[in-house]
Structure 1
Amino acid sequence: MSATTSLGLDGTVVAQTRLGAIDGIGGRLAYSGYNIHDLATQASWEEVTHLLWHGELPNAAQLTALKAQLADARALSDEGLAMLRRLPTSGHGMDGLRTIVSALGQIDAPLSTTLQADTLLAQGLRLTALVPTLLAAWLRLRAGEEPVLPDPALGHAANLLYMLHGTRPDAVAERALDTYLVLLAEHGLNVSTFVARVVASAQNDLCSAITAAVAALKGVSHGGANEYAMRAFLEIGTPERAAAYIEGLLARKGRLMGVGHRIYKVEDPRVRHLRRHSLALSERPQAQQVVRDGAQAHATAERVAALVLG
């Protein structure tokens, strides 16, 4: 008798979903039948969340209700703040996030019960709303600053930026983060989603499943790739150093980290929207000017593209 082993679960079907559809050959992504390009340009994170949770985009009343529920669940309790003050102020941010989610399973009664079909949505909403509040508060504490409480008048993305920086974000920054959250809201059975489903299948609680998912997300081959892309930008520093950095990396047979899932054989459909918002952010008056002039930027971009694409 022969057996076939599928390393890494490539080509293995373990679940069915109505939430997302990925076409790696054509470079297409859809959530519940809606093209990602339409959602990224016309829908807010709250609207996309309603779509994924309920299977349809919300009407005005449904959207207002969801925003109100999220605002109510965002509040930071005294016990939650006390927990954050006991956390180490050093170490990797993802380690802090993992610990925060794990601790919620002990200090937040609605999140500590075993997953049930009739309570899952309420628990998911609570965790979704509360984690950004806790994460922003912890990041401020480790920087020696006091937490900023959420503003019920702000949406999900704007609140995260507000709680991090203490000032209301401008429209460009708010829309950039909101779109980023839309683009990452669903992508099939990725590593962290698979891990969460495995843990939940053992009749576990939501915090246990999401704690495991966050641990998986930290990995360099998963969400951790973003961190290494940022490290590359910091190491490059200025546009005139970009070509030499890429040449050196390729000469060492190193990996150029960036946005894009390997399932896509063409450009990841999410990239165009991230590029658009990155350019918009860089053009703000308060943004650090790393591009000396348009001609130099164009020449650098062409040089890097030639090196990467061969």
Structure 2
Amino acid sequence: MRASLKDVAARAGVSTMTVSNVLNNKASVAPATRERVQAAVAELGYRPSLSARNLARGRSGVVALALPEISIPYFAELAGHMMVEAEKRDWTLAVEQTNYDREREMALLSGGRGHLIDGVLMFPSAVSAEDIPEGGSALPTVLFGNPAGEPVVDHVVIDNAAAGQQATAHLLESGRRRVALIGPSYEPRSRRQSPRVAGYRRALKAAGIAVERDYTEQGGLYSREDGEHAMERLLALKTPPDAVVCLSDLLAMGAMRAIQRSGRRVGDEVAVVGFDDIEDSAYLTPSLTTMRPDKAQLAELAIDALDKRLSDDTATPQVWRARCELVVRDSA
């Protein structure tokens, strides 16, 4: 049978409280006693019960990770990084797929499952900071991925406007002048304007190029199909673009397919830049130039922020920024 705390205490000749103090590395235990307890732990192969430890602290050890759509590669890769960071703290992540549904997101923020989870990590797809009460959410919460505005809860972001500007500027610096954009001007199912679009417009203005209405094709979401259909419409214009910024790698994949099916060469006749640097981007033919958010850093910042919030729920909410860089490959 698995050794218990009482078994360790009996073997070491101390109380269970003393064993607990040693396991929690408290300084109140004499060195000789600490050595006896540690020896007993080793001899019996004792392993602390994580559920008992969490119960003693009034926690479940479970944190909700809320994502709009798990099948999207960017979210799947980000969830993997979140799990790595959660394991370092002995947390279990319960993945929730919100399907861009405002009611599901609000239910998590309002603490509807508070007896089951300690906190919430959420990519807000249908709610905004304005939807969160001034006093914050009912559970310790960290939002990530979308612009924070005035922080009501802790928020981890990338500078999407700067990323959109950098992606567009890269195309302009390569000599392209008819730069189109594929992607929604407003975040799907929310009231937020896309900062990536703002960055695109900023780069064109800095280069003295007017934003052509025909060149800003809006996709419904961020899917391959949306990208393909938008690119087909752009290529049918009397003066089609010679470059396109896509607001996700999936949109870029669809756009590249439409370009190739039209008989044009991606990278030569029409340059393409994506966003997210999902794993498949490097394996396309040609490989995709894209903006790479540091997903590992984003996960580390989000988990660390929630850990701090669980320890101190009175601290002022903060915004943290993860890195984002341009990865140049063959498509642009």
Scaled by the length of structure 1, the TM-score of the pair is 0.26
Structure possessing the higher relative contact order (Cα contacts under 8 Å, 6 or more residues apart): 1
Instruction: Say which structure is richer in helix.
Output: 1
Scaled by the length of structure 2, the TM-score of the pair is 0.25
